[in-house]
Amino acid sequence: MRRVARQQPDLELAGRFEPDEQQTFRHVPFTVPEGVDQLHLHITYNDQIDSNPLHFGGNTLDVGLFDQRGTAAGGPGFRGWSGSNKLDLTIGRDWSTPPYRAGAPGRGEWNVLLGAYKVGPNGLEYRVEVRFNPGIPAPSQPQPNGRLVRAKVPPAAEPGWYRGDLHNHTIYSDGGSTPAALAVAAAEEGLDFYGITDHNRAQSPVGLVPEGDGWPVLVPGVEVTTYAGHFNVWGTDAWYDFREPTEAGIQRAMDAGLADGGFVSINHPKPFGPPWEFPQVTGFMGVEVWNGWWGRINNVSLAWWDERLRRGERPTPLAGSDMHRLGIVGDPDDPLTPARLGRPALWVHVPGELTAGTILDALRAGECFISESPSGPQLYVTRSGDMLRVHVADARGDALLLIGDPGCVAARPITGDDCTLAIALSELPADLTYVRAELHHPTGAIRALSNAIALNGSTHSR
Ligand SMILES: [Zn+2]
């Protein structure tokens, strides 16, 4: 006979984090006996507040789960991590609460992973009730309409260029939509590709979305979400350890992503991003200089990238909406408005077939620019000998700014819908090591920005 979800718990795990244990992890072991097809965890704690980094004064508890195969970094025992997003988890042979992976629960020692993201003045008292074989039926899955409807957006002004949004969340972390619904929405926004970068996900999105036949291209990724900042790894199927927010721990996790051939980028290095706390960590290839609406403190991320450029490093500038909820129009002038898919858009140059691999190759080669939206201005910057060629589309009335080591080194008005400016490097200050372009609306907002062209102090030497 089936038992119901609110049967007496089979196990109760209780404990406490003190205020000085904020941002530490704890593995809480429990034993799963023979003959369990489904288990349910119900988690409660006191003084609960939202995970938003602008909220404080109470408790936020993050939750993850490892099965009997162990807790090793990158290992098969990781069943998922839901952050502070869910407090009722069902794990079973046939289905699991997203983002947890389904599959027969094995007998042996499991571990609930608890992360004390925020601990208020009263401390954090937690209680985990574990029920075996509660017989909870699978919830009905929301089905997207599945129809491919492409938005009309301005065509690329140069051949081989494609637009997308690589930083998005789904129900496989704290987002609101299925991966398939995200694919539909990406097409409706006129995107050629989209990323899925769920926080510390155990479930790969590959196979969960429509592909081919004109559908936007999925670039699978993971947002490695630690208490010392976030980084994205695209192009691998693994998970990377987020439980050691020290310089050594972060470096190990990033090295693992690099060893798997992933493209690694530092996310939103700005206040309340949350920020990136280990600038000494090395190996990343990109920096998310534009996350969500421009006005959300992205000037700090852009300055972070410029500082790297002045040091002679050349990380690729990336953009991502960090969209969690589809169907919200959003207001860029409201500081608390949610992110919207494709705002900003990342453009990449792929001369051949558009695949996840060729998109990441374009990022490795630095062949990209960023625009405020899928219909926003296009900004192509190339160097040919002593000349800088800047091709601008859909930016009439904006200002083109050239930025080099000391800051703004030149400016031009954009007077046409499609215009190409040739600027002699000899017109720019001597000894620039790089130059890059920005398009500014007359009110000051950035509408597009290019990658940096390396000059290596050769501005006047040719
Ligand atoms: Zn993030």
Integer Cα distance of 162 and 349 in angstroms? 7
**CA 125 – CA 23 distance, rounded (Å):** 15
> Which has the minimum average pLDDT: 158-162, 362-366, 369-373, 429-433?
429-433
CB 10 within 8 A of CB 83: no
| Span 201-251, pLDDT tens digits | 998 889 999 999 999 999 999 999 999 999 999 999 899 999 999 999 999
Q: With 70 as the cut, is the pLDDT of residue 380 above it?
A: yes
Please write the tens of the pLDDT for every residue from 150-186: 888 999 999 999 999 999 999 999 998 999 999 999 9
Q: Is the peptide bond before 344 cis (omega within 30 degrees of 0)?
A: yes
- Give the Å distance between the CA of 288 and the centre of ligand 1: 10
pLDDT score recorded for residue 449: 98
Q: How far is the CA of 185 from the centre of ligand 1 (A)?
A: 21
Please state, in angstroms and rounded to a whole number, the distance separating the CA atoms of residues 199 and 222.
6
Distance from Cα 341 to the centre of ligand 1, integer Å = 15
Ligand 1 centre to CA of 206 (Å) is 21
How many angstroms separate the alpha carbon of residue 275 from the centre of ligand 1? Answer: 9
Residues 63, 66, 70, 73, CA torsion sign: negative
Cα(305) to ligand 1 centroid in Å equals 17
Output the pLDDT for position 1: 38
**Residue that is written with structure tokens 């991502």 in the block:** 320
d(CA 105, ligand 1 centre) in Å: 31
Structure-block tokens of residue 367: 């062949």
The pLDDT, as a whole number, for residue 457 is 64
Residue 462 is predicted with a pLDDT of: 40
Q: Cα(167) to centroid of ligand 1, in Å? A: 9
Tokens of 317: 């500038």
CA 158 to chain centre: 28
Half-sphere exposure of 89 (CA within 13 A, CB side): 30
Low-confidence winner among 41-55, 85-99, 145-159 (lowest mean pLDDT): 145-159
For 22-37, what is the mean pLDDT? 97
Instruction: Name the residue among 172, 192, 171, 173 with its Cα closest to residue 183.
Output: 192
The CA 267 to ligand 1 mean position distance, Å, reads 6
Q: Which of 385, 410, 384, 400 is nearest to 448 (CA)?
A: 400
Q: What is the dotted CATH code of the domain comprising 11-132?
A: 2.60.120.380
Q: 146-375 adopts what CATH topology?
A: TIM Barrel (3.20.20)
Domain spans in the chain, listed from the N-terminal domain onward? 11-132, 146-375, 377-462
**Which pTM value belongs to this model?**
0.93
The closest alpha carbon to 388, from 452, 308, 314, belongs to: 452
For the cut 80, the answer to whether the pLDDT of residue 6 exceeds it is no
Which whole number is the average pLDDT over 80-104?
Answer: 95
Question: Which residue type occupies 342?
Answer: G
User: How far, in Å, CA of 374 to CA of 163, rounded?
Assistant: 7
Class of domain 377-462: mainly beta
- State the distance from the centre of ligand 1 to the C-alpha of 135, rounded, in angstroms: 35
Centre of ligand 1 to C-alpha 10, Å, is: 36
